[in-house]
């Protein structure tokens, strides 16, 4: 079935279809319409879940962590400062290996207060051990949110599904709603590795020592370092799980095929613009304009940001002379995190690439500053001519 609805509704429909059993959330713009929808579904009896109207985002994720520890499929959503207020819990959920799913309607973080879109909120959570997916349109929001549950449960790693606040969360677009029976085939009920149970008592997340130690059966148990290493190992392996999950989704629903990176006219490209989220679809228009001017240029949307699909990113820009990384966030004091990650991937894969393209970072849309297609084209033209604008913040008026 196709509908014309908002991105937040797309996410809510996915959570309903996924059969989340516990939903806990605290209101923050622009996430609120998503949780309002879930409240409606649950109160109307369309969705069999417990909705917990918590008193803070810290508690929202706290409820989900505990609910997941007790064996329930749990979901939350937030934005901006709400996500930052959760930060401790974001780390905790990954360390506890809980397959939670959280939607983030991306929004700028204070100070100063700003409710509009950029990616600073979720990018600042990149080192927490979560899987992060970035959506470019409404169809991806509903599809990715469903896939997120399967990926999370297959890896015991929580997944953050990120989509641009307002630009996607509040705009109306057509998208297909997956069929309920097919969802049941794609996503079986949650079977936790362990759920808190008086019949099988265990203490979870206890203080864990720097060194390994014997357990009650005299077997060597891991120390903190081993537990953390296995999170890293599983995260690296999660790239493949994301691909397999996408393939399974594609087999059932006929959509997908580019779960790691989404290239657009990159095959013959001398230059590639790399970005995440809705801006990468906007860039497709820009690229057409520049191609009409004779530039061989393409766009690469990074759909999976953590674990970083370094091999896929490197392969996608292979043969290009130059790469422009267009970001809505910054690692303040240096450059955009995606720009650094991409450079790092190129360095790691230099052997396969032979030579690495030049990489220039560009910053756009901070705090919801309008990203005008003409400005993007101008910035890229100057980059193609040899130097990106200085400062490299597109549209800045100092």
Partner 1 sequence: MGPRGYRYKTSHSQPGPGDGGATGSWRVQRPVIDLARCTPAKRGKEACFACWLYCPDVVVSRTIPPQIDYEYCKGCGICAEECPTGAIEMVDESAAHEHED
Partner 2 sequence: MTTRTTILSLPVEEYVHPGNRACTGCGLGIAYRIGLKALGPDTIVIVPPSCLTVLQGLFPVATTKLPSLNTTFACTAAAATGVLEALKAQGKDHVNVVAWAGDGGTADIGIQSLSGASERGDDFLFMCYDNEGYMNTGVQRSGTTPQGAITSNTPFKGKLQQKKDVAAIMTAHGIDYVATASAAYPLDLHDKVKKAISLKGVKYIHIHTPCPPGWGFDARYTVRVGELAVKTGYWDLYEVEKGVFRLTGASAKTLKAGTRKPVEEYLKSQVRFRVMSPEQAADVQARVDAKWSTYSGGAG
Q: Which residues bind partner 2 (CB under 8 A)?
A: 21-22, 24, 49-50, 52-56, 58-72, 74, 88-89, 92, 195-198, 200-209, 213-216, 221
The distance of closest approach from Cβ of residue 64 to partner 2 in the complex, given in angstroms and rounded to an integer, is 6
Q: Which does 355 bind (CB under 5 to 8 A by kind): partner 1, partner 2, none?
A: none
CB 153 to partner 2: min, Å:
15
**What is the total residue count of the chain?**
398
Our CB check for partner 2 shows the closer of 217 and 397 to be 217
21 binds, among partner 1, partner 2, none (CB under 5 to 8 A by kind): partner 2
Task: Please identify, using beta-carbon distances, which residue of 217 and 355 lies nearer to partner 1.
Answer: 217
- Give the three-class secondary structure for 74: strand
Q: How far is the CB of 145 from partner 2 (least distance, A)?
A: 19
Chain contacts with partner 1 (rule: CB under 8 A): 96-97, 156, 193-194, 201-208, 215-217, 221-222, 226-227, 230-231, 234
The 3-state DSSP class for residue 211 equals coil
Q: Exposure string (b/e) for 252-261, b if CB count within 10 Å is 16 or more?
A: ebeebebbbb
DSSP annotation of 157: -
From partner 1, partner 2, none, which one binds at residue 231 (CB under 5 to 8 Å depending on kind)? Answer: partner 1
**C-alpha to C-alpha distance for 97 and 91, rounded to whole angstroms:** 10
**Beta carbon of residue 207, minimum distance to partner 1 (angstroms, whole number):** 8
Of partner 1, partner 2, none, which one does residue 226 interact with (CB within 5 to 8 Å by kind)?
A: partner 1
Residue whose CB is less far from partner 2, 69 or 128: 69
Q: Between residues 74 and 314, which has the closer beta carbon with respect to partner 2?
A: 74
Q: Which is nearer to partner 2, 88 or 348 (CB)?
A: 88
3-class state of residue 238 by DSSP: helix
Q: Which is nearer to partner 2, 61 or 342 (CB)?
A: 61
CB of 200 to partner 2, least distance (A): 7
- Could you give the CA distance from residue 83 to residue 77 in angstroms, rounded to a whole number? 9
Residue 7 or 62: the one with the smaller Cβ distance to partner 2 is: 62
Contacts of 321 (CB under 8 A, 6+ apart): 270, 271, 357, 358
CA–CA dist 27, 10 (Å, integer): 18
Tokens read off for 121: 């909120």
Furthest-apart CA pair in the chain: how many Å?
71
Distance CA 69, CA 92 (A): 12
**Smallest gap from residue 158 Cβ to partner 2 (A):** 14
Cβ pair 323, 357 in contact under 8 A: yes
Binding site partner of 234, from partner 1, partner 2, none, Cβ cut-off 5-8 A by kind:
partner 1
d(CA 102, CA 233): 22
């Amino acid at each position: 079935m196709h509908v014309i609805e908002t991105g937040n509704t797309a996410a809510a429909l996915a959570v309903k279809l996924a059969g989340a059993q516990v939903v806990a959330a605290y209101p923050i713009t622009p996430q609120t319409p998503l949780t309002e929808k879930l409240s409606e579904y649950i109160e109307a009896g369309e969705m069999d879940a417990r909705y917990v109207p918590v008193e803070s985002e810290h508690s929202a994720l706290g409820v989900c962590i505990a609910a997941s520890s007790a064996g329930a499929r749990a979901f939350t959503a937030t934005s901006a400062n709400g996500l930052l207020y959760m930060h401790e819990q974001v780390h905790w959920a990954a360390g506890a290996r809980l397959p939670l799913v959280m939607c983030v309607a991306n929004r700028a973080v204070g100070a100063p207060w700003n409710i509009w879109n950029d990616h600073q909120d979720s990018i600042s959570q990149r080192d927490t051990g979560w899987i992060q997916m970035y959506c470019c349109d409404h169809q991806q929001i509903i599809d990715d949110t469903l896939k997120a549950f399967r990926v999370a449960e297959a890896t015991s790693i929580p997944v953050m599904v990120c989509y641009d606040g307002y630009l996607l969360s509040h705009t109306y677009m057509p998208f297909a709603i997956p069929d309920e029976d097919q969802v049941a085939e794609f996503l079986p009920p949650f079977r936790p590795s362990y759920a808190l149970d008086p019949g099988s008592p265990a203490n979870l997340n206890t203080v864990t020592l720097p060194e390994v130690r014997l357990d009650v059966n005299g077997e060597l148990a891991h120390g903190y370092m081993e537990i953390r290493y296995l999170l890293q190992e599983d995260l690296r392996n999660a790239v493949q799980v994301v691909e397999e999950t996408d393939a399974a989704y594609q087999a059932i629903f006929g959509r997908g095929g580019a779960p790691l990176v989404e290239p657009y006219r990159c095959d013959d490209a001398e230059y590639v613009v790399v970005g995440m989220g809705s801006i990468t679809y906007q860039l497709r228009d820009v690229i057409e304009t520049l191609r009409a001017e004779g530039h061989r240029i393409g766009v690469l949307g990074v759909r999976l940001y953590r674990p970083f699909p370094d091999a896929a990113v490197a392969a996608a820009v292979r043969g290009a002379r130059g790469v422009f990384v267009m970001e809505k966030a910054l690692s303040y004091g240096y450059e955009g995190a995606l720009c650094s990650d991409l450079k790092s991937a190129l360095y790691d894969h230099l052997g396969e690439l032979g030579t690495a393209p030049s990489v220039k970072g560009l910053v756009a849309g901070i705090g919801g500053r309008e990203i005008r297609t003409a400005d993007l084209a101008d910035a890229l033209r100057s980059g193609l001519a040899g130097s990106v604008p200085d400062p490299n913040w597109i549209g800045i008026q100092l």
